[in-house]
Structure 1
Amino acid sequence: MMRSLYSGVSGLRVHQTKMDVIGNNIANVNTVGFKASSVNFSDIYYQTLQSATGPNETTGAGGQNAMQIGLGSSVASIVASITQTGGSQRTDNPYDVMISGDSFFIVNSGGTNYFTKAGDFLPDENGTLTTSSGAVVMGWQPDPADPTTILKDTVSPLRVMSPENLFSEPEATTEANISGNIDPQDKNIVSSGSGEFVSISFYDSIGQEYTAKFKVLQTTTSTSVYNVTLSDITDKNGKSIFVTYDETNKKYIANAAIGTVKFGGQTLPDIADSNVDPDTGEITWPASTGTNTMSFNASGKFIGIDDSATAPTASADDTKSLGLSIGVTGNNPFKDVNVDFSTITQYGASGTTSIEGDNGTTDGKKGGRKAGTMTGIGIDESGKIYGKYDNGDSKLLGQIAVASFSNPSGLEAVGNNMFAETLNSGSFDGIGHDVTSDGGGMTTGVLEMSNVDLSAQFTDMITTQRGFQANSRVITTSDTLLEELINLKR
């Protein structure tokens, strides 16, 4: 009779444990990346009243089964459904990431690596990507030998918004184009006119922007041959680089730092103080030296441009463009710019010439750029993190690495949506792998929510309540029997 009391007590205990697990599951129904747990019971030690016997042919007795009385139940296991994916919640936050597949994010807290499905990340004050609980997100860094690729080595903190990543390096312009159509009847471009002016913008190696201004004027010898000359180079404020302001004497003077400037076969003459208006900075240019000549065929198509007074007569690769070089005293931030004229045409139309310049080649390369300031980051399907900058640049900042385990259910929950490896989960090698290597992927602006199924939890709650209630009845009934036994003697 005492056995039934203790069996009832053990039943109360295991059902209370199951209720505790159900309560925790329901409490975390809206926790990002939470994995629900379930409880399994097992019976425990049995008291054998009679062992089993086999048939006896001598006596004719048949075999008997063992007679055993169980001593209650115990908790066999509490298992988290780690491999079951929770629902997807759209957040549109570029730092929120969801993994599809069985892999885990690798995070570090207190010097120890942990694993999580919760991808609600944010950069901290130092620009390091962290979880909402402050654990550092781990991954791989760009290869120092080739910053466009990832070095898959031991995982380290992803400092995606560190000071060196907040800016993008400038790039000097090395290619530029002048395109459009020249109308030979345009009154500005004919030999007696003032010329057609066109400009290109370009950058030096520290990201400063400049504008080179060119003049195109028909020669007196042919309506299909034109002289192309460089008229000035100005900074972003529209001031000529050949002029500087003398703060001491409060006047404009010639910029002695500018050396030899060449455009094709033309060398711009040196500017002296006498050529500069001290009040406005306007330049009176000395006689130019050298000539550049551009020519077209009878159909109005480009033949070539040459750094001499002789008009090109046959199209060739070396007659499509002219080089612009700027000499500077000391460290020269300028690179030579190759200006391509090959797309210009000479078709008669409305008497108006329409030509324009741009920096960069037709495929968008070598056009140069200013120094860029980070405007945001993006994470692709493989977990690669790219910085986006206001100069149009995009830079690889790192890659989120992931970890997989042979028995993910063997991981130990340690709180804050994190799991630790155990002897039964398999071990982490310290490097991890690319999420796409096992068919998975990452989605930004989305979070994996809890995988708790409320309908299942409420059903388990009902059965747990009934089990607890039934075990309590075992105890009260056994107590009543004991009471009757005691009352035998009055």
Structure 2
Amino acid sequence: MSINSAMLAGVSGLVANSSALAAISDNIANVNTVAYKRNQVNFANVVTAQAVKGKYAAGGVQSVTRQFVSQQGLIQASGSTTDLAISGDGFFVVAGKGLGLTPADARSFTRSGSFGVDSDGFLVNDANLYLQGWPIQADGSFAVNPSDLNAMRSINVKNLGAAVAPTTELGVSANVNKGTTVSSGLAGYNAATNSMALYSSSNGATGTKPDFVIEMNVVDSAGGSRKVAMAMLKDTAANTWRAEIYAVPATDIVPNGTDPAGQLATGNVVFNADGTINMTATSNALKSLNLGASTAATGARWAPGLGLAAQSLDIDLTKLSQYASTSTVNSISTDGAGVGNVIAIEVDESGIVSAIYDNSQIRKIAKIGIATFPNANALRAVSGNAYRPTIPAGEMVVKEPGVGGAGAISPSSLEASTVDLSAEFTGLIATQKAYSASSKIITTADQMLEELINIKR
């Protein structure tokens, strides 16, 4: 009966517009939710077979929910270095826990990058979802796997320990006075038996007094500060200086063979006529030092009681000069750093998470992966503004940020919600009117049925 079908069509209109109202309500409620993707309810008519020619039976309407997961939200600057946004396609891989993560634990995907550090040191967002990444390997690389989520781990930025950077390079900028008078001590100088290292270590009782000494600080493998000195004695040969490098105090090292206490290297420093250093004629032994570990049996090495690892030092003497001016040290540069503790966390655009230490060292921790899907709009939404894979969404691939179509990471940024309030309020008004109109269909059909029943009276 057409009146009955009209009433049922009105009911379907109420149901469909109720779904539309629910979607609009969700959108409005999440207008400030980070990286929220708006939903929309579309309508499709339902056509029923017409059994009798000349009569029409209403089919009504059905609601179809559409997700706009792939829609890009506005990237906004944030004050936190652990806030992350994805500019482009893809999702962060997250898990429900940080410790004890197993292959059986479900992974989700989200664009909500409001991450912070929890009490255990893990990066976790506002929905308590833990950010996953590829941990750094011993050789400094990352074992990137595009399909195995088990290769990723919850990123921890606290349990890292202190950072130490032993000195490997020293740079010396200094001038030695060209007008220095050749010392009377030169006649008795012998690097093996009457060295400048002996003079330094015994406070002048033995050895040869140098004309000029350059002291340099060195960070050892344990983060301790050691000192080495380069002593120089003017030679009778033009533009030539005898030089020795030794440890201060001498007890920090065991010298090579029968070398004097503390001595590490000997040789000549030769200058050109214009006062610049002649690196070719200058002894190579003064440019590179090799200190063996405390446990080494031969060669110059750290003292056994120090328990230090082997260390190589390259000394840059290119800024050493000889001018007719007072001998002076202009600057000493070094790449070493003592013991440092984590003071900040940063993430770069390639997804590398690094810890910054108070000794200016930077240590890489992990690399964030970006998961992509052929049809992201078909993902299944779950609580926490996250999604789970579905068959219509297609095969998931985890890529490095900015590679192979994956979006780049925007550090210290957040993606805004894609909800447009003006559009939602307009839709709210239209949905309200459509709901009222559907209710009028039911009222009118009821009145017609009542008239039909009254015919018998």
TM band (smaller chain): 0.7 to 0.9
Name the counterpart of 2:378. 410
Q: 1:260 aligns with which of 254, 257, 265?
A: 254
Name the counterpart of 2:145. 152
Residues in 2 aligned to 1:475 and 1:322: alpha-carbon distance in whole angstroms? 95
In structure 2, stretches of 5+ residues that fail to align are 98-104, 186-208, 292-299
Residues in 2 aligned to 1:204 and 1:232: alpha-carbon distance in whole angstroms? 13
1:457 lines up with 2:424 in the alignment:
yes
SS of residue paired to 2:19:
helix
Residues in 2 aligned to 1:461 and 1:398: alpha-carbon distance in whole angstroms? 45
Residues in 2 aligned to 1:167 and 1:332: alpha-carbon distance in whole angstroms? 17
Structure 2 CA distance for partners of 1:358 and 1:160, relative to 1, 3 Å: farther
1:294 lines up with 2:265 in the alignment:
no
Report deviation, 1:359: 4.9
Residues in 1 aligned to 2:254 and 2:383: alpha-carbon distance in whole angstroms? 69
Report deviation, 1:173: 2.8
Report deviation, 1:442: 0.9
Report deviation, 1:447: 0.8
Q: Contact 1:122–1:129 (CA<8 Å) still a contact in 2? A: yes
Q: 1:329 aligns with which of 294, 299, 304?
A: 304
Structure 2 CA distance for partners of 1:127 and 1:480, relative to 1, 3 Å: same
SS of residue paired to 1:24:
helix
Residues in 1 aligned to 2:391 and 2:323: alpha-carbon distance in whole angstroms? 80
Residues in 1 aligned to 2:372 and 2:223: alpha-carbon distance in whole angstroms? 45
Name the counterpart of 1:108. 95
Report deviation, 1:171: 3.8
For 1:98, the aligned partner's letter is A
Report deviation, 1:479: 2.6
Report deviation, 1:386: 2.1
Structure 2 CA distance for partners of 1:78 and 1:179, relative to 1, 3 Å: same
Name the counterpart of 2:216. 200
Report deviation, 1:299: 3.3
In structure 1, stretches of 5+ residues that fail to align are 52-65, 234-239, 243-257, 270-287, 305-313, 361-366
Report deviation, 1:194: 7.6
Q: Contact 1:201–1:359 (CA<8 Å) still a contact in 2? A: no
Moved more, 85-94 or 370-379: 370-379
Residues in 2 aligned to 1:289 and 1:124: alpha-carbon distance in whole angstroms? 49
Residues in 2 aligned to 1:17 and 1:297: alpha-carbon distance in whole angstroms? 88
Name the counterpart of 2:170. 176
Q: Contact 1:376–1:387 (CA<8 Å) still a contact in 2? A: yes
Q: What are the equivalent positions in structure 2 for 1:190-229 lying under 5 Å apart?
A: 195-219=211-235, 221=236, 224-229=239-244
Name the counterpart of 2:348. 380
Name the counterpart of 1:161. 157
SS of residue paired to 2:424:
helix
Q: Contact 2:270–2:282 (CA<8 Å) still a contact in 1? A: no
For 1:299, the aligned partner's letter is D
Residues in 2 aligned to 1:342 and 1:402: alpha-carbon distance in whole angstroms? 47
Q: Contact 1:136–1:157 (CA<8 Å) still a contact in 2? A: no
Residues in 2 aligned to 1:406 and 1:294: alpha-carbon distance in whole angstroms? 67
Structure 2 CA distance for partners of 1:382 and 1:222, relative to 1, 3 Å: closer
Structure 2 CA distance for partners of 1:340 and 1:290, relative to 1, 3 Å: closer
Report deviation, 1:98: 0.9
Report deviation, 1:68: 2.9
Report deviation, 1:2: 3.0
Report deviation, 1:78: 0.5
Report deviation, 1:26: 0.7
Report deviation, 1:208: 0.7
Q: 1:33 aligns with which of 12, 31, 35?
A: 35
1:72 lines up with 2:60 in the alignment:
yes
Q: Contact 1:200–1:357 (CA<8 Å) still a contact in 2? A: no
Name the counterpart of 1:352. 326
Report deviation, 1:89: 2.2
Name the counterpart of 1:471. 438
Report deviation, 1:261: 3.7
Q: What are the equivalent positions in structure 2 for 1:262-281 lying under 5 Å apart?
A: 267-268=260-261
Q: What are the equivalent positions in structure 2 for 1:85-124 lying under 5 Å apart?
A: 85-109=72-96, 111-124=105-118
Q: Contact 1:197–1:216 (CA<8 Å) still a contact in 2? A: yes
Larger radius of gyration: 1
Q: Contact 2:32–2:417 (CA<8 Å) still a contact in 1? A: yes
Number of aligned pairs? 411
- Percent same amino acid among aligned pairs? 27
SS of residue paired to 2:338:
coil
Q: Contact 2:222–2:308 (CA<8 Å) still a contact in 1? A: no
Name the counterpart of 1:143. 137
Report deviation, 1:215: 3.6
Structure 2 CA distance for partners of 1:224 and 1:19, relative to 1, 3 Å: same
Residues in 2 aligned to 1:182 and 1:476: alpha-carbon distance in whole angstroms? 106
The TM-score with structure 2 as length reference comes to 0.79
Report deviation, 1:333: 4.0
Name the counterpart of 1:433. 399
Report deviation, 1:300: 2.7
Q: What are the equivalent positions in structure 2 for 1:381-400 lying under 5 Å apart?
A: 381-400=349-368
For 1:414, the aligned partner's letter is V
Report deviation, 1:201: 0.8
For 2:214, the aligned partner's letter is V
Q: Contact 1:43–1:72 (CA<8 Å) still a contact in 2? A: yes
Report deviation, 1:18: 1.0
Report deviation, 1:464: 1.0
Q: Contact 1:321–1:340 (CA<8 Å) still a contact in 2? A: yes
